[in-house]
Amino acid sequence: MTEQEARRMRRARFEGLAHLVVEPLHRYLLRRTGADMVEDVLSETMLVLWRRLDDVPGLGAGSEADPGDVLPWCYGVARGCLANARRADGRRLRLVERLVRSQEETPAGAADHSELHAALDALGALDREVVRLWAWEGLAPRQIAEATGMTSNAVSIRLHRAKARLADRLGRKDAEPTGHKRDEGRSSQ
């Protein structure tokens, strides 16, 4: 038997199995979960059945099978896929809850940075990225140049001008951001 004939026979076996089990599995899943999850779990179940086609009891070499022989095993596969989907949903919900709690737990005395974000948004996209890489990621102009594909000199000039525009927008008398040394914005080359 050629490889193409083997694939054709495998496909025919799977199509016969699918014809036999799709409707009962759909009903099974509808009785156990919400309609929004049924199609995804059914698809996952059919994928597992395709992968494990040779393990399905009662499914011989032909495409015809007895539902009493194959359905119990297929229900077990669907049950496992449903349990996996429920665990995944639980993980997603716990993550969302954690994220919401972390947003709510900001200290009452936390600084309001809306002015800074507005000033950053007023910069061009490339200038904003250069400033963020320098201030938030702590990169030197030489490293920023590597990350952005610009020259160190171009980064230093952009950074200097962007810091001046930010200082102007924020109403600072000196363009020196707090927490940074004076020579930190200059290229080391």
* The predicted structure's pLDDT at residue 146: 87
Same-domain check for residues 69 and 150: no
DSSP label of 42: H
87 and 30 within one domain: yes
Residues 133 and 79 in one domain: no
Residues 76 and 121 grouped into a single domain: no
DSSP annotation of 120: H
What's the rounded Cα separation, in Å, for the pair 152 and 141? Answer: 6
Give the CA-trace dihedral at 46, 65, 21, 75, to 10 degrees: -80
Helix 35-51 / helix 3-30 crossing angle, nearest 10 deg = 150
State how far the Cα of 163 lies from the Cα of 63, in Å rounded to an integer: 72
User: Domain boundary at 104, 138, 161, which?
Assistant: 104
91 and 161 housed in the same domain: no
The three-state secondary structure class of 6 is helix
Residues 119 and 175 in one domain: yes
Give yes or no: residues 92 and 45 share one domain.
yes
Say yes or no to pLDDT of 16 above 70: yes
- Number of folded domains that form the chain: 2
Which of 104, 124, 153 is at the close of a domain?
104
Residues of the chain with pLDDT > 70, as a percent, come to 83
Question: What is the CATH classification number for the domain harbouring 48?
Answer: 1.10.1740.10
**Which pLDDT score, from 0 to 100, does residue 176 have?**
57
Domain boundaries, position 76: 3-104
Phi and psi dihedrals of 77, rounded to 5? -65, -45
Same-domain status, 12 and 87: yes
- Give pTM, 2 decimals: 0.53
The helices-and-strands tally (H runs, E runs) of the chain is: 7, 0
**Do 95 and 174 sit in the same domain of this protein?**
no
Identify whether residues 79 and 170 lie together within a single domain: no
CATH number of the domain encompassing residue 138 = 1.10.10.10
Q: Residues of the chain with pLDDT > 90: what percent? A: 56
Domain-located, residue 109: no
Q: Rounded CA gap, 100 and 19, in Å?
A: 45
Q: Which amino acid is at 22?
A: V
89-146 pLDDT, tens digit each = 999 999 999 888 887 765 655 667 788 888 888 899 899 889 988 988 888 999 998 8
CA distance 157 to 182: 15
The phi-psi region of residue 179 (left if phi > 0; otherwise alpha if psi is between -120 and 50; otherwise beta) is: left
Q: Are 177 and 136 in contact (CB under 8 A)?
A: no
